[in-house]
Amino acid sequence: MIKFLLLYSTKLIWIILGLMMFILNLASKKSFSDRSKSSPFECGFEPKNSARLPFSLQFFLIAVIFIIFDVELTILLPMILALKTTNLLSFTFMALTFMLILLIGLYHEWKQGALDWAK
């Protein structure tokens, strides 16, 4: 009987605490709703211009290059685990080939002028 009372009194306390927190949250909520917060535009800022602004293609190109090299770095990191399963010669060949591909890509982007911010 005591076990029964202890179990259900604990449940009752948790239910009461949950209801109290819910009611206090509703009572203390400060809701200021204006036109900019209700708009689907991001962050509640007032859109002063149209959403179709001219976009910097140079910035986009550098961002894409960054993402490509970032993904290649995440591919490079698990190669450390491959060092345990392969011999040193094949690991060195694999790592140097991968780094050579990265450097050739970087050299190509550099020669194309994609990394020059101001032209």
pLDDT per position as a tens digit, 5-44: 778 888 999 999 999 999 998 888 776 666 666 666 555 5
Shared-domain flag, residues 24 and 61: no
Q: What pTM, to 2 d.p., does this model score?
A: 0.46
Q: Count CB atoms within 10 A of the CB of residue 25.
A: 9
- Do residues 67 and 24 share a domain? no
105 occurs within a structural domain: yes
- Considering the domain boundaries, does residue 42 fall inside one? no
- Which tens digits make up the pLDDT trace of 42-60? 555 555 666 666 677 778 8
Residue 118 inside a domain? The answer is: no
Looking at the structure, do residues 69 and 106 belong to the same domain, yes or no? yes
39-48, 49-58, 96-105, 107-116: the lowest-pLDDT one = 39-48
Q: Are residues 106 and 63 in the same domain?
A: yes
Residue 63 and residue 18 share a domain: no
Residue in 55, 56, 54 with CA at minimum distance from that of residue 119: 56
Query: What is the number of structural domains in the chain?
Result: 2
- 104: containing domain: 57-112
Q: Which residue has the tokens 């206090």?
A: 24
pLDDT of residue 119: 60
Same domain for 61 and 25, yes or no, is: no
Let me know if residue 35 belongs to a domain. no
- Residue-wise pLDDT for 64-92, tens only, equals 888 988 888 888 888 888 888 888 898 88
**Residue 32 DSSP one-character state:** -
